[in-house]
Chain A
Amino acid sequence: KNEVEQSPQNLTAQEGEFITINCSYSVGISALHWLQQHPGGGIVSLFMLSSGKKKHGRLIATINIQEKHSSLHITASHPRDSAVYICAVRGSRDDKIIFGKGTRLHILP
């Protein structure tokens, strides 16, 4: 079993829909990151969380440390949001970064 699990693996939605991507992890962490990767490979960091909730534009990220779960929400989704969204955690014990396999999001116009 992977230490970081994301769901769903693939998601197709219509423009304007509210999107939720989930991440569960099984190790103690010092931080959780949500990353965005567009075709071509470059990765952009969206959020770094250690507790609570963060908001940036139409993106919202939440984390529940007790439940070892985080969600990334996109409001009023747009085709330009189409990308792979990756959850990554930094282990508190060994400082390693562990990545989920990513969620491939496709927003239809």
Chain B
Amino acid sequence: EAGVVQSPRYKIIEKKQPVAFWCNPISGHNTLYWYRQNLGQGPELLIRYENEEAVDDSQLPKDRFSAERLKGVDSTLKIQPAELGDSAVYLCASSLGPGYTFGSGTRLTVV
């Protein structure tokens, strides 16, 4: 069984540019999470989907961040425009029940 697949693995962009991350969850997992992890910190939830519905986006900075999960499968997370402080690892996870599986993450560097 394939795990949670994220791309790209690494991304370097200049500030004010847009960037998008993609996540393909494990087949059948109806819950999908996007997390941001700053250096030396635990992951912080940005948004949680149940199928295609965003059920918790309270921590998503909506002025520059957006996410979608069309058809309740793949998801994209977008930042426009990126700021220096957005440099972090962006992790996607999916779950069906109490367990969950993380992708390898996208390391974003904004210069």
Query: Of B42, B89, B93, B105, which contacts A100 at CB under 8 A?
Result: B42
Whether A101 and B42, one on each chain, are in contact in the complex, defined by CB atoms closer than 8 angstroms, is yes
Category for how many chain B residues contact A: 20 to 34
Chain A 29-54 against B: per-residue CB contact (8 Å), 1 yes, 0 no? 01101010000111111001010000
What chain A residues lie within 8 Å of B100 (beta carbons)?
Answer: 33, 45, 97
The A contact surface, by secondary structure, is strand
Q: Which of B41, B45, B98, B102 contacts A43 (CB under 8 A)?
A: B102
Given contacts A100-B42, A101-B42, A102-B42, contact A41 B105 (CB under 8 A): yes
A90 at interface by CB-CB < 8 Å: yes
Task: Given A41-B91, A96-B56, decide whether A90 and B98 contact each other with a Cβ distance below 8 A.
Answer: yes
- CB-CB contacts of B13-45 with A at 8 A, as 1s and 0s? 000000000000000000001000100111111
- Given the known inter-chain contacts A30-B98, A43-B102, A43-B105, please indicate yes or no for A99 contacting B43, CB distance below 8 A: yes
Give Cα A48–Cα B31 distance, bound, in whole angstroms: 17
What residue in chain A is nearest B56 (Cβ atoms)? A96
Q: Does B99 contact A (CB under 8 A)?
A: yes
Q: Verify B91–A43 contact, CB threshold 8 A.
A: yes
A73 to B61, CA, bound (A): 37
Q: Once the chains bind, are B41 and A97 in contact (CB under 8 Å)? A: no
Which residues does chain B contribute within 8 Å of A45, judged by CB atoms? 99-102
Cα distance A14–B4 in the bound complex, in angstroms: 34
Residue numbers in A under 8 Å from B45 (CB-CB)? 96-97
- Contacts A30-B98, A31-B98, A45-B101: A86 and B42 contacting too (C-beta < 8 A)? yes
Contact B41 A48 (CB under 8 A): no
With both beta carbons as reference points, the residue of chain A lying nearest to B41 in the complex is identified as A101
Q: Show the binding face of A for B, using Cβ within 8 Å.
A: 4, 30-31, 33, 35, 40-45, 48, 50, 86, 88, 90, 96-97, 99-102, 104
Interfacial residues, chain B to chain A (CB-CB below 8 A): 33, 37, 40-45, 48, 56, 89, 91, 93, 98-105, 107
Which 5 residue pairs of A and B lie closest in terms of their CB atoms, listed nearest first? A99-B42, A41-B105, A43-B102, A42-B104, A41-B89
